[in-house]
Structure 1
């Protein structure tokens, strides 16, 4: 099929998807309630809402992430607090729910301590204090006793004692538990990203969604963006960091649509690239007809991964990164927070479409 017509067809498919998402929300009738722990800038909450849930409360420790969350979810009771100081009683007071009434408790405890990169660098995951936040999730889950529980995290978490103990505690308290490692690109997110997702239920069989038969490409996601600096979108128009003439020339010489620094002549390669055989994606271009690589906190920096635009001689913008993470194009970020803080929020966020698919599947279990 000619690319022009394929692109038009994919646009029509996306319109159909949106109608299906709307119908899902109407079918659920916003009947089901949720609380979002470790909410970040709101990716998980957005996914829950797109599936038809009413998110009643959220907890987030970081002030800047909390400001971004409020800018997009003004009807949610947001607690910008250390979750270790948040009690189940406080969450029940601010939501008006009693123990056992909440439909879904969802969250993604900070996962950097369990990352494969950290393990590859010889660092101890067990020593990272952030890993204790899995226990805080368990504490609130047992105290609130929701009908369902969802946890999302890095795949490596499944091997650690904290996660195994978490599952054991849920099972001992009457929950059936399943978990899988899935790629978010199989659920409409235009990005290659493997994640561990857990579904637990005390009112029926826990469910997770089946993957879609098609993927959303980089072209479908960001192919129609307006020129940087002229779009009127502050997040898309943030000036890129000044680069040396040598680095800019190197970026311009990297082949379009999927090329990498390995295609460059030796005279154009940076000295540091000859000292390691790893990190092959740095200074690489995305490919139009593929999904993007994993969007990380370094998504605006070509020295951190394959984050160069497929055609233009620049890294992707923060707006493009947010879209590739699955956020809608009008999702609000506070530009005054600075590029590094916003990139961190985007890289740490849960892809909304991934959460939407699984939370909808879980709600179908409640509807029986």
Structure 2
């Protein structure tokens, strides 16, 4: 039987980072929606008690889900989600435009469709910083204001909220009838060392996300071995040791860079296991970080399962796209505290 006290639904759930954060905050995640097969398979490995709709959200009637969950409008505690955001990405807006015509961006209004049907007590949405200045978000805020919600939007850094990673994201929170507040910032930042120091070396591990074969050219491997430990970069090397493609290039200086033990990691992206995609070298071992290390830097626990059936690069993309669980937890906790203090339940 469904416990209707602190329920949540995760739209565009991906591999389950947001759902995990909601569970940490005390929510029962009763349903999730995701269309990507690999992300769905991973989600089900870790959230067996959640109803997962493996569908394009545009083909789901919110009234159907309401009935399936035996919920009435106004009973859901939290509606959360991360609509796909390709068109809002800064890599897609270098020409200065902030209103990129990208069909996936209109999925923001699929989220609104569920708000109107469920009338949840609170809303949590995460996206790339570019959405914060997009006209679509202003329209979204106007529409939920008409429904009685007050909202707050900020571009926040996950490193300030319990995640050992620098990751700037737009976060929208809203509550019915009261002004919401973001989660409290912990006193201390978590670092790469906090996340990775106690992890065994890949060759000593039985974890398929940590111990897998990597093949690199001899030239690239020699370059990696020359990069200074603990925060070093290829730009620290004399030109004679650099790859030909880097010698006359001033941009992308983080590629083939090492992480620093005593700082949060750079943003974990879909290219996080490829040192040519960013500062993704281990602080002291002569290799890129592994999938398990990437997941730990996102804030997933060591026992979180990821489906590897389609190869490590698609698994890396799935991890890089996730909402860091601890980042989600702190904001979800603040929303839940506000609701319970208002209602006394």
Query: TM above 0.5, one fold?
Result: yes
Checking the alignment, whether the CA contact within 8 Å between 2:4 and 2:75 is kept in structure 1 is no
Q: Provide TM-score, normalisation by structure 2.
A: 0.95
**Is the 2:99–2:135 contact (alpha carbons within 8 Å) kept by the matching residues of 1?**
no
Q: Contact 1:47 / 1:355 at 8 angstroms: preserved in 2?
A: yes
Asked if 1:40 corresponds to 2:14, the answer is: yes
In structure 2, the partner of 1:356 is 329
Out of 248, 251, 256, the residue aligned to residue 221 of structure 2 is 248
2-side partners of 1:30 and 1:314: how far apart?
Answer: 48
2:134 to 135, 145, 160: 160
Matching of residues 311-326 of structure 1 within 5 Å: 311-326=284-299
1:297 aligned onto 2:267? no
* Unaligned runs of at least 5 residues, structure 2: none
Matched ranges for 1:1-368 at <5 A: 31-120=5-94, 126-240=100-214, 242-368=215-341
The answer to whether the 8 Å contact 2:127/2:170 transfers is: yes
Which portions of structure 1, spanning 4 or more consecutive aligned residues, are displaced by more than 3 angstroms? 121-125
Which deviations, in whole Å up to 9, do the C-alpha atoms of 1:20-76 show, x marking residues without a partner?
A: xxxxxxxxx993100000000000000000000000000001000000000000000
Over aligned residues, Cα RMSD in angstroms?
1.5
Shift of 1:125: 5.1
Tell me the alpha carbon deviations over residues 299-329 of structure 1, each in whole angstroms, 9 at most, x when there is no partner.
0000000000000000000000000001011
Structure 1 residue runs without a partner (length 5+) = 1-28
> What's the secondary structure of 1:135's corresponding residue?
helix
Structure 1 residues 152 and 172 mapped into 2: Cα distance closer, same or farther (>3 Å)? same
The offset of 1:341, in angstroms, is: 1.1
327-336 vs 282-291, which deviates more? 327-336
Q: Are the aligned partners of 2:152 and 2:179 in contact in 1 as well (CA < 8 Å)?
A: no
Q: Whose helix proportion is higher, 1 or 2?
A: 1
- Number of corresponding residues: 339
> Does the CA-based 8 Å contact 2:165-2:298 persist in structure 1?
yes
Distance in 1 of aligned mates of 2:172 and 2:251: 31
With 125-134 and 255-264 compared, the bigger mean Cα shift is at 125-134
Distance (Å, rounded) in 1 between the aligned partners of 2:115 and 2:249: 44
What is the CA–CA distance in structure 1 between the aligned matches of 2:259 and 2:289, rounded to whole Å? 9
Cα separation, 1, equivalents of 2:4 and 2:266: 34
Stretch moving more, 252-261 or 262-271: 262-271
- Structure 2 CA distance for aligned equivalents of residues 329 and 153 of structure 1: 25
Tell whether the 8 Å contact from 2:98 to 2:130 is kept in structure 1 after alignment. Answer: no
Q: Aligned-pair distance for 1:139?
A: 1.3
Retained in 2: the 8 A contact 1:261–1:284? yes
- Whether the 8 Å contact between 2:12 and 2:32 is mirrored in structure 1 is yes
